[in-house]
Amino acid sequence: MTENDYIKISDRIRKYKYGEQIVRKLNLFSTSVVYIIYILVVVFMIITKECDVIRIVAVTAVSFIGVSYFRKKFDSPRPYTVYNYDPIIKKEKEGNSFPSRHVFSAFVIATTFIYANLELGICLFVISCMIAVLRVIGGVHFPKDVIVGAITGSICGVLGSLLFIAIR
């Protein structure tokens, strides 16, 4: 996307009285839902002594640490720093844009949950896609950031889960 694309999207959103607020609140809400569901499911699995909880926590934790390390080393700029415009979703960071960690985390969580509960996993995939779109239209990520975040999050979730299943 070009600077002009981000400006056009921002202008369209800003022309509505509550446009910016809606995008920001949807971004916060959808991200929070994924993390709250993650915590609740993990706590429930611990209480019910579900052995699958080790796989879910290990896969998501190792994946999150790995993507965080990669982002720090790669240190890709964000659209609002490259194009110097005012994003809808306010951020202070100038780098660490590639891949989107919000999208990566949502997709790795959704993928690991697929193996425990198909319906919940599918629901989280839908929310994860919404997060990806919101991060781009909010101006804090390039499309490549969210696409790579979604793909690598899904791959890490599948490979990590299959590795755990194979070890058992």
Q: What are phi and psi of 53, to 5 degrees?
A: -60, -35
The pTM score is: 0.94
Q: What angle do CA 159, 161, 166 make, to 5 degrees?
A: 90
Give the whole-angstrom CA distance, residue 12 versus residue 63. 36
Domain tally, the chain: 1
pLDDT, tens digit, 9 for 90 and up, residues 91-110: 888 899 999 999 999 999 99
Given this model, what pLDDT does residue 139 score? 95
> Range of 162's domain?
3-167
Here the tokens at position 3 are: 């600077």
Closest CA to 102 of 136, 81, 124, 131: 131
Amino acid at 5: D
